[in-house]
A and B are shown apart, each in its own frame.
Chain A
Amino acid sequence: MHYDLVVIGGGPAGLAAAYEAYENGISKVLIIEREKELGGILNQCIHNGFGLHTFKEELTGPEYAERCIDKVMYSTIEVKTDTMVLNIEEKYIHAVNGVDGYMVIKASAIILAMGCRERTRGAIHIPGYRPSGIFTAGAAQRYINMEGYMVGREVVILGSGDIGLIMARRMALEGAKVKAVIELMPYSNGLSRNIVQCLEDYDIPLYLSHTVTDVVGSGRLEKVVVQAVDENRKPILGTEKVFVCDTLLLSVGLIPENELSKNAGLRLDPRTNGLIVDETMQTSEEGIFACGNVLHVHDLVDFVTEEAQNAGRNAALYLNGTSAKAKTVQVLNGNGITYTVPQLINLSKDIKIKLFMRVSRPYYNQEIVVKCKEQVIASFKKKVLLPAEMQNIVLETKQLREIDGNILIALEEAE
C-alpha cells in the first residue's frame, strides 16, 4: 500500500489536515482512526460552544465533527477506522485491523494527529484505597454521553479543568448530587464561561487551593477526604473535610499522546510533552507533520482546526516539492510563559505566523514581548492572561529576517 499522505488520527485535527491537503491537490490521502467512527473526542462532547471561530455559529461537539467528516466523505480521501497504528519506521506505517490484517503502509508524507489522553490517579499519586467509582472525567463522559449509562449518584470532582466543569453540569443534569469541585491551584484551570455556566448556575461549590488526600471504600468508593493546601501545594493538617460520595471524577490534566512519535525517534518538547514543530507544523523529521492536541493541549477546537489546516497545507507543499528551507530561529520562553508552539520558525517565505502559548499563572496588565537579545521585535498588550486560556500572537517572518539569534517571548508589566 502506498499513499501520498497518511494522517494518523481521525479527530478534528486529522480530518481538517487531511481535507486541507486534499484541497491543495494531494489526491491519495488515507486517514487511520482507531475508534469505529471518525470525529475523535468531539463525539462525546454533546454540549455546545464549539465552532464560534471556525463556523461563526455555536455547535455541539458531534455537530462540529459532522461538518469535518462530511467534507472528507465527499472527497477522495480514504478512511480506515477501527485500525490501530502499531509503529512508524522511516515512512512506513505498521497498522492492524480485523479486515486488512497486518498492514505496512508506505507514505510520502505523514501527519500525526493522535490527540491526547487524560492524566490518571497514578500520575498525581492520590493516596488511599482502590475501589470502583473513580473515573477520569473523559471516561465518565463516554459512559454517559455515548453508552447511555450513569456512573454514580454522589459525586466529587477533582480538578477544575474544562472537562471537569462540563462533567459537573452533566452529572447534575442526570440527577446526581455533585458535592464539590476541588482545585489544587488558587485559581480554576477552566474557561471562565464554564465556571459560570457549569458550577455557579447549578450551585456547585468550588474549593480552590484544596486537594483529595484520602480515598476510602472497599468495593465501591464510600468517601473522600479533602484538605486545604498551603502555597507550596502541601496539605494543611487540621483542614480535613470528609465528603461521602460514590464517585470521584478526575479532571487533572491532559497529556499529548506521543508513544508513536517517541518510538519513531521524533523530538519532543518537555514543556508541552508534545512534538517540536516549525511554523509549517513539520516535526524534527522531514515530511512528518503534526497538529492538534498531540502537539499541545488546546482549549478550543477551532484553534485545532486552524492549526491542522496549516499542517495539511504545508504537507501538500512538501509533497509538491515547493517547500524551501532557509534560516531557522528558535522560539524561547521567558518570564511567565510556559510554552510556545511552534518552537521553530523557518524564514524562507514572507508569511504571518500565529504563535500559540500559555502563561504560568493568572497575570493582569501585561505585555507579551518578543525580543532578540535586547532588541524588541514586537509587543502585545494584554489586560488579562489566564493559564486556562491559550494566548496567541501574530508575527511576520519579515520582522525576524534581520535579527541575529533566537527570539525570546516573555511577559513584562505594561506601563
Chain B
Amino acid sequence: MYDVAIVGAGIIGASIFRELTKYNVKVIVLDKENDAAMGTTRANSAIVHAGYDPKEGTLMAKYNVWGSELFEELCRDLSVPYKRNGSLVLGFDDEDMERLKKLYENGQKNKVRGLRLLNREEVLMKEPNLSQAVKGALYAPTGAIVGPFELTIALIENGVTNGGEFKTSAEVIGIEKEGVVFCLKLKEGEPIKSRYVVNAAGLHADKVHNMICKESFKILPRKGEYYVMDKSQGGIIQHTLFQCPNKMGKGVLITPTVHGNLLVGPSSEDLEEKKNVGVTSKGLGLIQETAKKTLEHINYRENIRNFSGLRAISDRDDFIIEETAVKGFIDAAGMKSPGLSAAPAIAIDVVAILQQIGLLAEPKKDFQPKRHQIRFAELSPQEKQELIKKDPRYGRIICRCEQVTEGEIVESIQRPAGATTVDGVKRRCRPGMGRCQGGFCGPRVQEILARELKKPMEAVILDREGSYILTGKTK
C-alpha cells in the first residue's frame, strides 16, 4: 500500500515524485513506457521560459515565473546541464513592436525580473548574426536552457535514492476506489494500491482522469517538429531567439542547447491522434521558411537529427492543477508550454495540496538532495588523469563525437533507475547524440548494455518496447 501513486514519469510526474521523497511518505511513480521521460518531455524546445508570456493571473503565469527561479539550484544539485543564456523576443515591424510592449507589460505584472525593451542597435550588439531586418526586442535575462530528459531522469533517480519507487512498463488501464484506497489496475502485473493518486499522464491525462472521474477536460495533441544542428552551428547565437507572435502565428525559435548544438523549430500542427510523432517534409520546410526571418543563413546541411513531439494542450487554456471531485485524486494536467519551466513549482504546490487534503507528510531528516554525474568531456586534463587512474574505463572513449567514456556509460546503466536501452544510455550521458548519430558507437553501447545487464546482444533494444536492433546471428 502506497501513500501516493503518480501516473506518468515525465517532467511533471518526476518533479512531484522527487518532491514527495523529501517527506516520510511511501510513493511510487508509474510509467507505461520502459523508461522515464518518454513522452512530451523528450521532444520539446528544452527552454526554461522567463514568464512574460502567460496571461497575468493564470496558473501558467504563476508557476512559470516561480518555477524558473528554482531551476538553477535544482540543476546544480542534480548535476543536470542548465544555462541561463537569456532570451530575446524579436520584433520586425511596428506592429511587432507594439506587441512587444504589451508582452513587456504583461511580464511586469507577472513579476518577471530584469525585462527590458531593446532597440535595434542594442539587439544587434547582443546578437550580431541576426537578420538586419530586426527592429527591436524584448530581452529577458532570466530565460534559460536545460536538458529536459536529463533533468527528468535525475529527478527520478534522486527520488529512488531517497526511498521512492519507480515502475516502468506499468500502464494503468483502470482505477477504482474502495473506501479511501485507490486501486490502479495495470496492463501487466499486480494492481497498485494507494491512498492518493496524482495524474501526471501528460498526453493521456484525460484518459487517466476519466478512469475514475467525470470527464472535465480534453487533451488535444499539437505536434512540433525540430532540427538539431551540429555543434559547428551552436555558436552562431548566444540567446534563445523567439519571433514576436503575430497574426501569422507564433513563429519559430532558434536556440543554442545546453550541449552546444543549435535547435530550430517547432512547427505547430493540431492532430487527432496522440500517436503521430513523425517528421514531415512540409513541417520541416515551414520551419526553414519561418526561421529565415530571424537568421538569414542557417546551414541545414549541418543538421544531425530531426524530431517531433506532441504538446499536451488542454481545452481549458490553462494548467489543470487541482483535486478532482473524487477525493484524493489530483490532476496535474494540460501541461503545454511553459510546463517544463513550471514543473519544479508545480511539484511544491501539488505536495501542498496533498497535505491540505490529509496526507501526513513529515520532512525526512536524511533526505539527500544531491546527485553527481561525471561528464568526462567537461573535465580538466588533471581531473581526467585522476579519474582514469582510479578507473581505466574512463580512459576508453566510446562515443567519439561527444567524447563519452565507457565509465560514464557503465555508470548510466548501474545508477538507480538506470538505462536499459541504447537510447536510454544516450539520454543519460549522450553517446549517439553527436554528428555520427551512433553509427560508430551504437554497437559498442549495445555491447556494454548486454554485458552489464547480462543479456544477449539481441535482447538489447534501441528505445521503446518493440524497437529491436538485431534479428539473430549471421549464418
Contact = CB atoms under 8 A, between A and B. Distances in A.
A353 B396 CA distance: 40
B77 to A, nearest CB: 29
Given A123-B301, A127-B281, A143-B443, A219 B388 contact: no
A110 interface: no
A262 B230 CA distance: 14
Contacts of A214: 278
A361 interface: no
B475 interface: yes
A215 B466 CA distance: 16
A216 interface: yes
Interface string A85-120: 010000000101111111010000000000001101
B466 A34 contact: no
A121 interface: yes
Given A97-B396, A117-B439, A149-B474, A86 B403 contact: yes
Interface string B283-296: 01000000000000
Given A132-B468, A219-B466, A139 B439 contact: yes
Interface in B399-416: 400-401, 403
Contacts of A130: 277, 307, 463
A147 interface: yes
Most chain A beta-carbon neighbours within 10 Å: one of B300, B394, B470: B470
Interface in B438-475: 438-440, 442-443, 447, 457-458, 461-475
Contacts of B392: 98-99
B464 A125 contact: no
A201 B255 CA distance: 50
Contacts of A121: 305, 437
B247 interface: no
B263 to A, nearest CB: 13
B305 A219 contact: no
A265 to B, nearest CB: 14
Contacts of B401: 259
A133 B461 CA distance: 10
Contact of A136 (B280, B384, B439, B472): B439
Nearest to B421: A132
Contacts, number: 141
Nearest to B300: A125
A219 B474 CA distance: 22
B174 interface: no
A174 interface: yes
B185 interface: no
B279 interface: yes
A248 interface: no
A148 B474 contact: yes
B463 A150 contact: no
A203 B447 CA distance: 35
A235 B436 CA distance: 26
A378 interface: no
Interface residues of B, number: 57
Given A34-B397, A136-B439, A139-B443, A122 B466 contact: no
A117 B393 contact: no
B475 to A, nearest CB: 6
A153 B280 contact: no
B466 A218 contact: yes
A144 B470 CA distance: 10
B275 interface: yes
Nearest to A145: B474
Contacts of A117: 435-436, 439-440
A84 interface: yes
A101 B469 contact: no
A142 B439 CA distance: 10
B56 to A, nearest CB: 39
A63 interface: no
Contacts of B384: 96, 101-102
Given A128-B278, A142-B443, A174-B475, A122 B228 contact: yes
B395 A127 contact: no
A138 interface: yes
A152 interface: yes
B279 A149 contact: no
A131 B303 contact: no
Contacts of A122: 228, 303-306, 437
Contact of A102 (B301, B388, B465): B388
A34 B307 contact: no
A44 to B, nearest CB: 11
Given A139-B439, A151-B470, A215 B278 contact: yes
Contact of A216 (B278, B300, B385): B278
B405 to A, nearest CB: 8
A131 B278 CA distance: 10
B275 A218 contact: yes
Interface string A207-222: 0000001111011100
A-B interface, 8 closest residue pairs, ranked by CB to CB distance from nearest = A219-B466, A98-B392, A98-B395, A132-B462, A132-B467, A84-B397, A102-B385, A122-B305
6 contacts: A102-B384, A143-B470, A149-B457, A149-B458, A150-B473, A153-B471
Interface of A: 34, 82, 84, 86, 94, 96-102, 104, 117-118, 120-123, 125, 127-133, 136, 138-139, 142-144, 147-153, 173-175, 213-216, 218-220, 235, 246, 259, 262
Given A102-B395, A219-B467, 11 more contacts: A84-B400, A96-B395, A101-B385, A117-B439, A118-B436, A121-B305, A123-B301, A139-B442, A148-B473, A174-B474, A175-B475
